Structure 1
Amino acid sequence: MSEPMLLIEDADRVRTLTLDRPAALNAFNEALYDALTDALQEAAEDPSVAVVLLTGAGRAFSSGTDLLEMGERIANPDFKPGRHGFLGLVDALRDFDKPLILAINGLGLGIGLTIIGFADLVFMSSDARLKTPFTSLGVAPEAASSYLLPLLIGRQNAAWVLLSSEWISAAEAKEMGLVWRICEPGDLMAEARRAAATLASRPISSLREVKRDMTAPLREEIRRARERENDGFVRLMGGPANAEALAAFAEGREPDFTSLPPGW
């Protein structure tokens, strides 16, 4: 029996999607990328769904890409990617034309942060933290974050988030404009559901038109950013910096980038 990946619940025209790999801190493997992509596409096509609310099970929202699977992908030439994979999820997020609300219940790394660029409203638990670990993994940005984050929070805030690989607290995320509301942990889902219910009470046709109009100027630039980032990711993945980062992760130590070849 395959492990559960995504919980789906419908209530009052709101579809709640819960990332459900708590033992792996809801890290995205190929199967979870496929499951969330399918769920977003199905929600977009379902005339009974007005709003999608996304959260995580356990103590993490998402710890990003599954690094164990990333290492396998590099080492195994016969690795079989998913039907949609990471890029398919980014495309589904770009094309999703209904309100998307995030309830960030815990740790958010990588896609656990960059998905914010595609959300319409973001609620965050006061004890949650966010990070984009790209430079600490020796790789490039993802999910059009190099384009969307400067738009959302300004160039200098985005530069710090994308370049530093440092943790961002809930208070810092709110001050930057990365999230809309900070909630006490026990109130997070109730607050997010209240906002989702408000939107879901409006005509779906109108919600979709507003969302399409707001995102129309972004779609082509998202596509271009995704292509640039993917090119950089392909060039850097498996390189000396990424290899050191993955080895350090597997060995439970901090990576040491000081002895890399010049330019790395």
Structure 2
Amino acid sequence: MAGSFILAGCGKMGGAMLDGWIEGGSATAGVHVIEPIGAAVKRFSGSPGVVLHETAASVPADLSPAVVVLAVKPQTMDEAVRLLVRFVGPSTVFLSIAAGKTIGYFESQLGFEAAIVRAMPNTPAAVGRGITVYVPNERVTQEQNEMCEELLSAIGEVIEVTDENLLDPVTAVSGSGPAYVFLLIEAMAAAGVKAGLPKNLAERLARATVAGAGELARLSDEDAAQLRKNVTSPGGTTAAALKVLMADDGIQPVFDRALAAATNRSRELAG
């Protein structure tokens, strides 16, 4: 990783990214972390290359960062951008992981000459198993694009797209998706309890089954439909359950409505 960089915001997602950079060695180039000093960020004190700042004002004025990572909450982004606009320059790219903040928003705040990458990660980044979709604006150079991809790859898979409009359905599928999976675990466990299982056993079975099936899907060359068929014996217990789940009023139309709602909300937040 060439050049130092700034991490504005070190909450759950920013902290997960910093963990990945430290583990992968990227942090040794120098990471200026802007976050009110508390227990969550103090653990990074003493990490090679990491410098902690309570405010953006204490970041050296002569710093020319290769990347400014914007990991603050969307509602505090206006203030963060106002304090960091001084770092706009041809050698710096701004990488945002904030939901609902478009490239157009950042261009209006930072100037149309700014190199900007908008990314949508998800919470499995906390264990290095996230997936991030990103889109660069026209000012991002190939070198800057590669730097951003390297930083994002510290928390999982990375996919580049060229159409920013895709980030709304991306948000609905992968950005919000972990919550759907957790709800599935809840629902399976609750149904297991109703079927007669002790609560602790039902929850353990549901968690392990979802985690194991996810890992099988990740490692398999077969698509999800085929993996489902592999588990389903004609006339068996799985077939009986799937007959309910795959009915006309089953799980698919529910997901259609849910993802449409999430996509529309993402567009509303983006203005």
TM-score (norm 2): 0.28
Q: Between Structure 1 and Structure 2, whose CA radius of gyration is higher?
A: 2
TM-score (norm 1): 0.29
Q: Which has the higher contact order (CA 8 A, sep 6+)?
A: 1
